[in-house]
Amino acid sequence: MFKAEPGLIIWTLISFFLLLILLAKLAYPQIIKGLKKREETIQQQLEEARKTKQEAESLLEDYRRQVSEARAEAQKIVNEGKELGENMRKEMTQKAQQESNEIVKRAREEIELQKQKTILDLQEKIADLSIMAASKIINKSLNTDDNRRLVEEYVSKVGDLYGK
């Protein structure tokens, strides 16, 4: 099977150790240097990732704060709109009530004026009718001053009875 030859073993060991020494002198420092550079690069990338994460969290918090402020402002605007609408409704209701009261007041005044005018017209007609009736009854003509005095007395009596 396998037969160990001492010369081959010695030369293999010498070649192995020479290769180790050459690797230790030439290759290992470059490998270690490359690994350290890689480690530094990874550390830098990790640090950048942490900074990016912190900035993202800061931006997220800022965004949430702005959204909260915007919602509060929107609610404030809605409340002010409701309040303004309510105030306008109240003002319009009050104005309509005032206008209605003024219209009713003017209508009453107009009715009162019409009533007074109608009473005066009736008094004049009654006076004329009374003069005609009185003339016919006494069958004589009174002078103008007497007519006027009788009419005024009659009108004042009629006014007392019907006008007041």
pLDDT value at position 159? 67
Distance CA 110, CA 116 (A): 10
Question: What's the CA gap between 89 and 78, in Å, rounded?
Answer: 16
Confidence at residue 5, expressed as pLDDT on a 0 to 100 scale: 85
pLDDT of residue 125: 80
At 142, the pLDDT band (50, 70, 90 cuts) reads: low
Give the model's pLDDT for residue 11.
92
Q: What is the pLDDT of residue 17?
A: 95
**pLDDT number for residue 161:** 65
CA angle 38, 40, 42 (to 5 degrees): 70
Confidence of residue 76 (pLDDT cuts 50, 70, 90): very high
Least trusted range by pLDDT, from 21-25, 34-38, 133-137: 133-137
Q: Residue 18: pLDDT above 80?
A: yes
Triad 152, 128, 151: Cα angle to 5°: 15
Report the SS3 class of residue 148.
helix
Tokens, residue 32: 């270690």
Query: Could you give the percent of the chain with pLDDT greater than 70?
Result: 87
| Cα–Cα distance for residue pair 59/49, rounded to 1 Å | 15
Q: What is the pLDDT of residue 51?
A: 96
Position with higher pLDDT, 93 vs 152 = 93
pLDDT surpassing 60 at residue 134: yes
**110-137 residues labelled b (16+ CB within 10 A) or e (exposed):** eeeeeeeeeeeeebeebbeebbeeeeee
Count CB-CB contacts under 10 A for residue 148.
13
Q: 29-38, 132-141, 153-162 — which one is most confidently predicted on average?
A: 29-38
Other beta carbons less than 10 A from residue 43's beta carbon? 10
The label of the residue with tokens 């530094």 reads: 40
If one compares 29 and 158, the residue with the highest pLDDT of the two is 29
Average pLDDT, the chain: 86
